[in-house]
Amino acid sequence: MTLTAPATPTLLARFLDVRALTERLAAPLSPEDQTAQSMPDASPAKWHRAHTSWFFEEFLLDPAGGYRPFDPTFGYLFNSYYEAVGPRHPRPERGLVTRPSADEVGRYREHVGQAVAALIERGLDEAQAEVVELGLNHEQQHQELLVMDALHLLSRHPFGPAMIDWPVEDDPDPEPLTWRPVPGGLYEVGHDGAGFAYDNEGLRHTVHLVPFEIAERAVTNEDWLAFTADGGYTRPELWLSDGWAAVQQQGWQAPGYWQEQDGQWMVFGSGGVRTLRRAEPVCHVSFYEADAYARWAGARLPTEAEWEVAAGDVAELRGQLLDPDRLHPGVAGRHMLGDVWEWTSSAYLPYPGFRPVEGAVGEYNGKFMSDQHVLRGASCATPAGHERLTYRNFYPAAARWAFAGLRLARP
Amino acid sequence: MTLTAPATPTLLARFLDVRALTERLAAPLSPEDQTAQSMPDASPAKWHRAHTSWFFEEFLLDPAGGYRPFDPTFGYLFNSYYEAVGPRHPRPERGLVTRPSADEVGRYREHVGQAVAALIERGLDEAQAEVVELGLNHEQQHQELLVMDALHLLSRHPFGPAMIDWPVEDDPDPEPLTWRPVPGGLYEVGHDGAGFAYDNEGLRHTVHLVPFEIAERAVTNEDWLAFTADGGYTRPELWLSDGWAAVQQQGWQAPGYWQEQDGQWMVFGSGGVRTLRRAEPVCHVSFYEADAYARWAGARLPTEAEWEVAAGDVAELRGQLLDPDRLHPGVAGRHMLGDVWEWTSSAYLPYPGFRPVEGAVGEYNGKFMSDQHVLRGASCATPAGHERLTYRNFYPAAARWAFAGLRLARP
Amino acid sequence: MTLTAPATPTLLARFLDVRALTERLAAPLSPEDQTAQSMPDASPAKWHRAHTSWFFEEFLLDPAGGYRPFDPTFGYLFNSYYEAVGPRHPRPERGLVTRPSADEVGRYREHVGQAVAALIERGLDEAQAEVVELGLNHEQQHQELLVMDALHLLSRHPFGPAMIDWPVEDDPDPEPLTWRPVPGGLYEVGHDGAGFAYDNEGLRHTVHLVPFEIAERAVTNEDWLAFTADGGYTRPELWLSDGWAAVQQQGWQAPGYWQEQDGQWMVFGSGGVRTLRRAEPVCHVSFYEADAYARWAGARLPTEAEWEVAAGDVAELRGQLLDPDRLHPGVAGRHMLGDVWEWTSSAYLPYPGFRPVEGAVGEYNGKFMSDQHVLRGASCATPAGHERLTYRNFYPAAARWAFAGLRLARP
Amino acid sequence: MTLTAPATPTLLARFLDVRALTERLAAPLSPEDQTAQSMPDASPAKWHRAHTSWFFEEFLLDPAGGYRPFDPTFGYLFNSYYEAVGPRHPRPERGLVTRPSADEVGRYREHVGQAVAALIERGLDEAQAEVVELGLNHEQQHQELLVMDALHLLSRHPFGPAMIDWPVEDDPDPEPLTWRPVPGGLYEVGHDGAGFAYDNEGLRHTVHLVPFEIAERAVTNEDWLAFTADGGYTRPELWLSDGWAAVQQQGWQAPGYWQEQDGQWMVFGSGGVRTLRRAEPVCHVSFYEADAYARWAGARLPTEAEWEVAAGDVAELRGQLLDPDRLHPGVAGRHMLGDVWEWTSSAYLPYPGFRPVEGAVGEYNGKFMSDQHVLRGASCATPAGHERLTYRNFYPAAARWAFAGLRLARP
């Protein structure tokens, strides 16, 4: 993480914007919705709101001195996994923390927000500015998690209630699948140090690629229906061994949130249960499903280096990622065209020369570098401005509650 | 269940009283508190409030005709275990039902309450009056469960918050343990059909008892400290085999809700974490612990028949049970002297000639008659007027979240 | 357990007989068969052979003095559950004890057998004679367990191999079901102290029974087919709540060891997979199934007191139990007419005044007195001479690998 | 897999040698030892002996025609994971297959061995020669598994019996740790197609490496003692998040098979429980432990490409791998200097352009390419002649029963 300190007025405006978006995303959720935890991997919305505030308390306000914590017990309740900071509440029991209430968490957020704003206004040194920048990126990451986790919770409700009101959309014809060749050779990948990036995006380094082609659009729901119709979920030869075990143990017959009603595929999303739209990128598939689909299609997933090289090279991809109007506040969770994280074939491992940041704040990305898979791009739930071509998202191979789809590659 | 129809005005007053107590008991709980589920055996307070209302809808209002249900999906959400009524939401996932909100459940309760009150005012036939009476007893039973479950939830919070404000009580010297002899011979036990009783309390029948003695007070916390100090939780010879397995698997070293702080025993209760009071009956012990204690004390638990015979015979017991002022609204969860359910040595089995009530409403007590143990008496959380000498409460042998203690017997 | 010391010559002959039967029962099992453990509740045949020898070492030879143990590590390996004797190998891992070999266990049995025989020949005091008698009954009990456990193991083999060679039997028409009335009143039940009995069979005591009728034969396979055909396994209203949960979790659709092949019911037994015989008593049913069947049939299970009173009264029952030719060595596991343990409705609890024997040897029956159900009678696998009208067998409600069926009762 | 058909006489001799080694490795194991299964990941020795024979039946003899299978049920019992071949017995239940006996498996091996030898003598076409070569490599791989699994089984015996008689070895001073630099740049890695290799070792391809240093010896037990003494197993900052969870859930305090006796570290191995030898490479560590050790040592694990480049470059490594006297029959399981598989930091993923072999025989390496980690080198239990510089072994990150240690790298 190398930063040049951003100008303070800009930083303050950005701080207020990011903090406000979190509250807007949580607004459609009742106190009850914000408290329940639907599985150990997901956290209550209330927890996300509090944890992102605790981050500023722990790493900025407390070291800065002169700060009175809102409640001294919150450190225990809202630390996520920073072993170096001290003991913390067990993750699978976050749904039992009924107190503080969602309202009190709102007051906590205001208390922390005002203290940070005051500090920014008084002027930050470079290290402090870096912590604020990190804290904002951290909060943006949790904004997407908040939406993912809330959607998962509502999906477990027997009647699949809508999170937000959402007009019914039409379903245009899917685009045909076209391929773009990328020549082999040496490429530089990883973050080059200009602007904010997480530690896991560096060091920038050289990779050798053989020539390949990459699809110019993601796999769609219509594509997936062909896979399903061709027995995709019943043919072990298409699957990794662990993937086939997951299919059988979890009874997968379609992507997450799909449900069949009277012979018609419906899909649960932030607008409730809707008719499946054929042209949308398929979403809520696991790595195992993405891998099996690619094998069925006679193709494969790209490596993360291939993805990054192709994305840097291809204007359409880039444009899609950088469109500033993509995420409208309150629109989180919408399945928009092209807007999914894309599974790569790469395991989540350190780049050559990777070193985590020193201190507790560095307990961030490096400690998860085993048995996870890299996703690239961004989703409809990624806050605008949080995308980067070098961004490395990661989930376990069986996870389906992320906004994750896939894009094919081939030799 | 044999009933003479009670006079309508009285029934209406009683209906309003019971319904109001449920709401008073839930009042100290926030919407978040009312939604979380701390273990599969416990239910959210919101669920208890809704389920007791659904019972009137399902078994009284709907058959009576002309009733518009508050929400047609509530039957699925708030049926507990009546297989005959239709499918229902799985019990371990009650904590994920964040909608309806606690407030909407309040409106549901009013809707149902007004409809029942109107029906009572119009006049009930005998069968309907029986259902109302059953529904009120059912709701009283759930009042105690609501308190038990809420207390269990708060006990899982890392800081053991108080459910209600509660003055600190003094701790008088415990009474000495005295014994009362009961002669052997033939006795009649079970409900004789006068007034309301659950189906499992009949038929009244003859048992043959050998002479025995029964303790004139329950085992106290001070008694239990002697057991603990004598290695009670570390000596397998004192325990049933399954009990010893539970001790080791669950790490029991003291009754439920006890915790040691700086060498001092504290106990969590509705007033938060307090100093242990020596004269109080020990509470939140499992059947296994009660059985081990009795063995350690050179005594045994009474059978349910012995308990019932002794209780009918002993003025002190009777008086204690029938004291109308015992449960003050809002006082639920208090550990009062003598106020615990008492484990007996009896398994929960049908009495000779037992027949459940016909129809879905009879899916009530009979279907649980395996692998549970009978408790007799009543607790500080039992609503006033809900006690009976013939009442058969029951829990699995390892359960500790009930307000359960014990009373010794010996030959 | 009150014993008069049996004459030594008789005891020696009996000792040699019982020990020899164990070896004959194990003889058809290969070293591999004798070592595997098919579930935590079952033990390898090799373990049964060694454990019953260890019992004599621990409770007879070692206290008698002058005895050199065969191998000092066997105490750890072959103690079953006597906490008072010291640590022991965990039960679920008995299948990993590949050493000593089955052959070496044979040598261990000879070593112990010779030492006990020598002691008997030198003359026993009364306490020693009691231990020998207890050890022989203990070994007989394990003979049936050895057969049960071996059968369960072979049932898990994908091809259901036969344990012994067994001629195919014809299938006569089932007898009609007739009922015998038993008058109500006071009865004495339990063991009266003459001859050997386990501690749990006493004290003899008075019970009060209401009049009832009892079936003059056990429920047959043909009866059971009618239950199955009537949707017995698909109708929750017939089942206890825990029973219905077991049906669903374990996928029960028929008794244990039944399998459907091309529309024909087959049953696995000691002779391998055979055609179901209609007149045989149904076997390998759980308490839950027995209870559901009885409810379906408009009847109920008898209590253990009713069973004992009826059996004492009814010549046919008695004759069946006492037939000395019933169990032929090597014939264990055969499904003979009438030869099943019979589930009662009674929980396994202490009789009034029950006291276990002092010392480790008393860790026998009493410590299992929770959450088990009583079976009465004897099965085709019970060694001849081990039956008693007062015998109390017990298993958990879901167990199906015992030779257990049922007999109906009704008011 | 690209093969030139080896000359038949050589192939026959090699076939007989490999088959004979399997039997010599299993010889010290009793029928009981050969049948038990100590965990789902391990298989009984009897199963390995049968499965390696089934492979020849299924992929060579049956397609060749004119072959009578030894027993038609063995296909179901001894298929490991080839979904394309048909249904198979569930892996976690291999320990329940007590029949066929170990002796009969010996006869099965002879039957298959003679048929294959006859076929070889008659002359093989190229495809058949490839299958024989693959079958021999497959069997060699299972030879090491047989030793690993047998050792794991015996380690679960409470008294840690020796598998083979083994002289006590002296414990020389460990060598000092020295480092060898490897320049950065482009390298070719992967198998080049000359001689046998598994499909997962190709295609040979170009990688770009930054300069690094690699240790000239593996980490020793003495090194590990320093890690342990410095709190290695108690400091979360040294561990990956999943690794730290494994430490806590599984209670790791030292490598697998280490045990402390009276303050002295002992280690279980094929010779039973012995004193730890300081100079030996540490063995039976998981990837998580290897990774934590490297972090503690201020170093890291090499990638598999780095390992392969360094091994090809460094005479000492090469010599060590190719020493033909390394594995003496019967010496399997010995902890010799330098003789461990070495964890790399690489996930087990396909090389660029990887394509599995067509047909069922290709269900071999590719289907396991998720959530496993690559090990390189060979161990004391790897059969002589089975090593290759390009060999890619793989295990899940928490596995400890492989003969796995580590070698450090640094920038």
pLDDT in tens, C273-326: 999 999 889 999 999 999 999 999 999 999 999 999 998 764 344 334 434 343
CA A29, CA B234: separation in Å to the nearest integer? Answer: 49
**Inter-chain residue contact A96 with B157, CB threshold 8 Å:** yes
More confident residue, C336 or A28: A28
Q: How far apart are CA D296 and CA B39, in angstroms?
A: 40
pLDDT score at D313? 60
**Of A27-31, A262-266, B291-295, D28-32, where does mean pLDDT reach its minimum?**
A262-266
- Distance in Å, alpha carbon of A259 to nearest chain B alpha carbon: 18
% of chain D beyond a pLDDT of 90: 75
Residue that wins the pLDDT comparison between C363 and B138: B138
CA D374, distance to chain mean position in Å, is 11
Q: How far is it, in rounded angstroms, from Cα A230 to Cα D150?
A: 43
Whether A318 has a pLDDT exceeding 70, the answer reads no
Confidence of residue C9 (pLDDT cuts 50, 70, 90): low
Neighbours of D232 (CB within 10 A): 23
Contact assignment for A96 to B31 by CB distance below 8 Å? no
CB-neighbour burial class of residue C358 (10 A; exposed 0-12, middle 13-18, buried 19+): exposed
Report the residue count for chain C.
411
Is residue D364's pLDDT more than 80? no
The residue assigned the tokens 């990887």 is D354
Contact D367 A291 (CB under 8 A): no
Phi first, then psi, for residue D277 (nearest 5°) are -100, 125
The two counts, helices (H) then strands (E), for chain A are 11, 12
- Distance between CA atoms of residues C46 and C22, nearest Å: 11
Q: Which of B21-30, B170-179, C247-256, D399-408 has the lowest mean pLDDT?
A: B170-179
Provide the edge-to-edge strand list for the sheet that holds D264-269: D258-261, D264-269, D272-275
Q: Reply yes or no on whether the pLDDT at B405 is more than 90.
A: yes
pLDDT, tens only, B353-378: 898 777 777 767 889 999 999 999 99
Indicate whether B316 pLDDT > 70: no
CB pairs under 8 A between A and B: 79
Residues with Cβ < 8 Å from C402, sequence gap 6 or more?
C148, C284, C341, C375, C379, C393, C395
Q: Which of residues 55-114 of C touch D (CB under 8 A)?
A: 73, 76-77, 89, 93, 95-99, 101-102
Distance CA C186, CA B19 (A): 47
CA–CA separation, B304 vs B322, rounded Å?
Answer: 19
Read off the tokens for A269: 């999303």
* Mean pLDDT score, C3-30: 84
- State residue B355's pLDDT score: 82
User: CB-based contact (8 Å) between C234 and chain D?
Assistant: no
- Whether residue A182 is predicted with pLDDT greater than 90 in this model: the reply is yes
Q: Taking residues A338-353, what's their average pLDDT?
A: 91
**Segment B67-97, tens digit of pLDDT:** 999 999 999 999 876 777 777 888 899 999 9
Residue percentage of chain B with pLDDT more than 90: 74
CB contact under 8 A, B371 and C397: yes
User: Which pLDDT tens digit goes with each residue over D97-123?
Assistant: 999 999 999 999 999 999 999 999 999
pLDDT for the residue numbered B327: 36
Edge-to-edge strand ranges of the sheet holding A258-261: A258-261, A264-269, A272-275
For A218-251, what is each residue's pLDDT tens digit? 999 999 999 999 999 999 999 999 999 999 999 9
Q: Which one-letter DSSP state was computed for residue A208? A: E
Instruction: Round to whole Å and give the CA distance between D121 and C397.
Output: 62
Compare all CA atoms of chain B with the CA of C352 and give the residue at the minimum distance.
B210
Average of pLDDT values for A5-20? 81
Beta bridge partners of B224: none
D181 touches chain A (CB under 8 A): no
The token duo for A226 is 């062909």
What is the tens place of the pLDDT at every residue in C341-366? 999 999 999 999 898 777 777 767 88
- In whole angstroms, give the CA distance from residue A311 to residue A319: 10
Lowest mean pLDDT among A84-88, A318-322, C265-269, C287-291: A318-322
Chain segment C41-69, per-residue pLDDT in tens: 999 999 999 999 999 999 999 999 999 99
Spatial separation of the C-alpha atoms in residues C214 and C377, rounded to whole Å: 14
Contact (CB, 8 A) for C45 and C26: yes
- Inform me whether the pLDDT recorded for D260 exceeds 70: yes
| Substitution target from D32, D104, D151 for chain C, most C beta carbons within 10 A | D32
| Chains in contact with chain C (at least 3 beta-carbon pairs closer than 8 A) | B, D
Nearest Cα residue in chain B from A90: B158
Contact A31 B36 (CB under 8 A): no
Chain D neighbors of C30, CB-CB under 8 A: 31, 98-99, 101
The confidence score (pLDDT) of residue A319 equals 38
Residue closest to A29 by CA, chosen among A93, A86, A103: A103
pLDDT value, residue B331: 29
A218 CA: distance to closest CA in chain D (Å): 22
Among C112, C132, C113, smallest CA distance to C123 is for: C132
Nearest by CB to residue A32, choosing from B31, B156, B157, is B31
- Residue D385's SS3 state is coil
Residue A50 contacts B where some CB pair is shorter than 8 Å: no
Return the residue matching tokens 């002190």. Answer: B316
- Inform me whether the C-beta atom of residue C249 falls under 8 Å from chain B C-beta atoms: no
What pLDDT score was predicted for residue D6?
47
Q: What is the pLDDT of residue A121?
A: 95
pLDDT digits (tens, 9 = 90+) for D6-24: 444 599 999 999 999 999 9
Task: Give B378's contacts (C-beta < 8 A, 6+ positions apart).
Answer: B321, B339, B341, B386, B387, B391
Q: Name the phi and psi angles at C71, rounded to 5.
A: -155, 120
For B77, name the nearest residue in chain A, comparing CA atoms only.
Answer: A158
Residue B195 confidence (pLDDT) above 50 = yes
**Rounded Cα distance, C153 and C30, in Å:** 12
Residues of chain A with CATH 1.20.120: 8-156
Q: What is the pLDDT of residue B362?
A: 72
Given a contact as 3+ CB pairs under 8 Å, which chains touch B? A, C
Mean pLDDT for chain A? Answer: 89
pLDDT confidence tier of residue C387, bands split at 50, 70 and 90: confident
Which range is least confidently modeled, B157-161, D195-199, D358-362, D377-381?
D358-362
H-only helix segments in A265-303: 287-296
**Cα angle at A346 between A340 and A347, to 5 degrees?**
105
Confidence of residue A317 (pLDDT cuts 50, 70, 90): very low
Of the candidates A137, A141, A174, the one whose C-alpha atom is nearest the C-alpha of residue A341 is: A141
Instruction: Find the mean pLDDT for residues D351-368.
Output: 81
D352 touches chain A (CB under 8 A): yes
* Fold held by C179-410: paralog of FGE (formylglycine-generating enzyme) (3.90.1580)
Find chain C residues with C-beta within 8 A of B370's C-beta.
Answer: 240, 242-243, 287-288, 291, 373, 397
Which residues have a Cβ under 8 Å from the Cβ of A196 and sit 6 or more positions away?
Answer: A1, A3, A133, A134, A137
Q: How many percent of chain B have pLDDT more than 70?
A: 91
CB contact under 8 A, C157 and D97: yes
- Asked if D201 and D392 count as a contact pair (C-beta separation under 8 A), the reply is yes
Q: How many CB pairs (< 8 A) connect A and D? A: 78
Greatest Cα pair distance, chain C, in angstroms, is: 65
Element (H, E) at B260: strand B258-261
Percent of chain C with pLDDT over 70: 91
For D201, counting Cβ atoms within 10 Å of its Cβ (0-12 exposed, 13-18 middle, 19+ buried), the class is buried
Please measure the distance between the N-terminal and C-terminal CA atoms of chain A and give it in whole angstroms: 35
Would you say residue C331 has pLDDT above 70? no
* Mean pLDDT, residues B286-291: 98
Picking from D36, D76, D161, the nearest residue to C35 by CB comes out as D36
- Given a cut of 90, is residue A174 above it in pLDDT? no
Span A62-86, average pLDDT? 88
At C171, is the pLDDT very low, low, confident or very high (cuts 50, 70, 90)? confident
Q: Is the pLDDT of residue D213 over 90?
A: yes
Check pLDDT > 60 for residue D332: no
CA neighbor of C105 nearest in space, from C161, C45, C159: C45
Given a contact cutoff of 8 angstroms between Cβ atoms, the answer to whether B184 and B209 are in contact is: yes
Kindly state the average pLDDT of the residues D14-43.
97
pLDDT of residue A313: 60
| Per-residue pLDDT, D49 | 98
Amino acid identity of A177? L
Q: Which of C99-108, D231-240, D359-368 has the lowest mean pLDDT?
A: D359-368
Quickly state the pLDDT bin for A330 (edges 50, 70, 90): low
**Using a CB-CB distance cutoff of 8 angstroms, which residues of chain A are in contact with residue D237?**
83-84, 363
**Average pLDDT of the residues of chain D:** 89
First-to-last C-alpha distance (Å) of chain B: 34
Instruction: Give B130 or B5, the one with higher predicted confidence.
Output: B130
Candidates D299, D321, D324; CA nearest to D310 is D321
Percent of chain A past pLDDT 90, that is, above it, reads 75
Instruction: Compute the mean pLDDT over every residue in chain C, rounded to the nearest whole number.
Output: 89
Report CB contact under 8 Å: B156, A73. no
The residue ranking higher by pLDDT, D315 or B167, is B167
Of D81, D349, D397, the CB nearest to A371: D397
> Rounded CA gap, A49 and B157, in Å?
19
Q: Is residue C75 classed exposed, middle or buried when 0-12, 13-18 and 19+ CB atoms within 10 A define those classes? A: middle
* C324 interface with B at CB cutoff 8 Å: no
Residue A31: DSSP 8-state = T
Interface test with C, best of D96, D99, D155 (most C CBs within 10 A): D96
pTM confidence score = 0.92
Q: Tell me: the pLDDT tens digits for D153-188? A: 999 999 999 998 878 778 888 889 999 999 999 999
Distance from CA of A75 to the nearest CA of B (A): 12
For B223-270, how does the pLDDT look when each residue is reduced to its tens digit (9 = 90+)?
999 999 999 999 999 999 999 999 999 999 999 999 999 999 999 999
The correct CATH number of B8-156 out of 2.60.40, 1.10.3470, 1.10.1760, 1.20.120 is 1.20.120
